[in-house]
A and B are shown apart, each in its own frame.
Chain A
């Protein structure tokens, strides 16, 4: 008999989501992790998710985590501007971007939109700053 590599899967997992959400240990900041690409095909979905977060009374601050994102286009940028506007209209809600790849950072620099956003090197850094 050949050796077995073992029973691999007991349950069928749910399909991967485009965006995943987590909460920082402090419980004050919510983190929305963006998929590998934020572009015209998923920008509306992203914007809807992020604005829904901001409308949640329990959420004090929202951090967009770009650590896995390697591509951002102008539609994605537009969605981020929308979320920023929603955050500025919701009193007391803080909004920041974290862990931008060199390419994503370059898009912010080309368009000069980095002037609008609070951008941090990591989610932890953003969380510490927003919660201070």
Chain B
């Protein structure tokens, strides 16, 4: 996980799905904790999740369990949430056994003890209809643990889960503008529960605070790279005050408030006649910045200070933190839309339309691991009896792999457009020469299997650029892997790819695929591998299924057996000579 990165995973409640959460945790720990520590953290989260399945949902499957994680300020945090029955950890006694009385040793009750032994912090919070289980693990040698203020979690209005899962914006609830100071913290919390467009959020936050504390102006400053940066102000007064606020950096109520960790105020008015009250804004384990309120009147300042308990700073901090995360969520949403556009372009450019070729049954399916695919699958019909097929897999996955798959697709199509009577080996050789320079510049490689089936001649010619060996099944006899030896595309521009040829007659079937299918990690944590794939097809064909049904069964089983999301793009084609 990267610094300040956040991830989340939601699964239906079941012990089986707890394994998906476990895999998620292991992934989050990668690069941060040793294998030994990661296994223990995995265990702690698994115990907490098991607790939700057993106790919160009373073994009733299907209810939602969400796990969010983040890495920040030297801590790896996990937050499990559920909407089941609240859990009271005080009801679970510390394990204490009479070791001689084996029959009296309890079989349950070790989970909570294990979590507490492993993690640096564990909290159970019930908020609204939601239960939150917070687990924290220190990463590396952080000398001191920034305190997590309990107020962040117990305040009714400041939902800590919003900080991790920002909700859709809703209009700002304006406080009562009667002129009276807020009497209760919940009232103020309600006013500060800001969910609005990020561009205006800080201004509205300032307005809210001004109304409540009768201040002349207010500024929220967020810490950025060691300095305090003005991030928001409110109204004309605040704009006029901006200069003096900037000047006050040296004098530094902010610095004092930050260093003291508590609110501080100026006892003498500045040159413009303003008295200032400054609050440090402490986020989750880190300093976010400061909020400064300006007053003309010392009595008002003192009144506000009196009504400024520590919780206020926490409420503002949560609102600010939510707003920052909401802005990130909007960015993420924009990126997602861009990715959707890229995915649609990828699908549009690389058509997976299956041509109608007499005497051939053709299956083709592809599923990306991410939004866009680095796998490439395409057909090209030449005349009435000839079918070209291409199955490629660009190194990596996601956007970059997708770009190169489109590039190779256009190259194949261009070469075939100019010279359709090529052999597959020649097509790969020419395409590799065209692509190699660009592949080399971006250190990209691609595997490819190109085939040409001629039903009139009864042949299958193929060439491979380091691709997974295709499977061929004979109508009488066994199932076999065909030989594929040559280098991947992009390795060497001077390679001459070899064309292989085998008879492809009635009843024969050919299966081609990408390594996403063989590298699937099953429920037992092991990669499925190529042998079980061959084995699965052998079984399907023996049951009398044709290539369409056999491929669909294997493809859906493979996708279903993968833990959590797919590790790699998966592509499968099957062709049967009918």
Contact = CB atoms under 8 A, between A and B. Distances in A.
Interface of A: 1-10, 12-13, 16, 35-37, 39-41, 70-71, 73-75, 77-79, 81-82, 84-85, 88-89, 102-103, 106-107, 110-113, 115-116
Contact of B525 (A6, A37, A40, A77): A37
Contacts of A73: 43, 46-47, 50, 111, 114
Nearest to B503: A1
A37 B15 CA distance: 12
A74 B47 contact: yes
Contact of A37 (B19, B108, B110): B19
Interface of B: 14-16, 18-19, 22, 36, 39-40, 42-43, 46-47, 50, 53-54, 95, 97, 99, 102-103, 105-111, 113-114, 117-118, 469, 477-483, 500-502, 524-526, 531, 534-535, 538-539, 542
A37 B42 CA distance: 12
Given A4-B480, A107-B43, A37 B501 contact: no
20 contacts: A2-B502, A4-B481, A4-B482, A7-B479, A8-B479, A8-B480, A8-B534, A9-B534, A12-B538, A12-B539, A35-B524, A39-B18, A41-B16, A70-B525, A71-B22, A71-B42, A81-B107, A84-B102, A85-B102, A111-B114
Determine chain A's interface SS by DSSP, over half rule.
Answer: mixed
A102 B34 CA distance: 13
Contacts of A41: 14-16, 18-19
Contacts of A88: 102-103
Contact of A13 (B42, B53, B483, B535): B535
Contacts of B526: 36
A5 B111 contact: no
A54 B46 CA distance: 30
Most B CB within 10 A of own CB, among A36, A71, A84, A85: A71
B143 to A, nearest CB: 25
A78 B107 contact: yes
Given A12-B539, A71-B22, 8 more contacts: A4-B480, A5-B481, A7-B480, A12-B535, A36-B526, A74-B47, A85-B103, A115-B99
A27 to B, nearest CB: 28
Nearest to B524: A36
A123 to B, nearest CB: 20
Nearest to B118: A110
A5 B117 contact: no
A71 B45 CA distance: 13
A44 to B, nearest CB: 9
A115 B542 CA distance: 53
Contact of B478 (A8, A13, A70, A103): A8
Most B CB within 10 A of own CB, among A6, A73, A89, A111: A73
Nearest to A88: B102
A110 B114 contact: yes
Most A CB within 10 A of own CB, among B19, B39, B95, B114: B39
Contacts of B469: 5
A87 to B, nearest CB: 9
Given A8-B531, A84-B102, A39 B110 contact: no
A4 B481 CA distance: 7
Contacts of B109: 74
A89 B535 CA distance: 44
Most A CB within 10 A of own CB, among B36, B109, B110, B538: B110
Given A107-B43, A111-B110, A6 B480 contact: yes
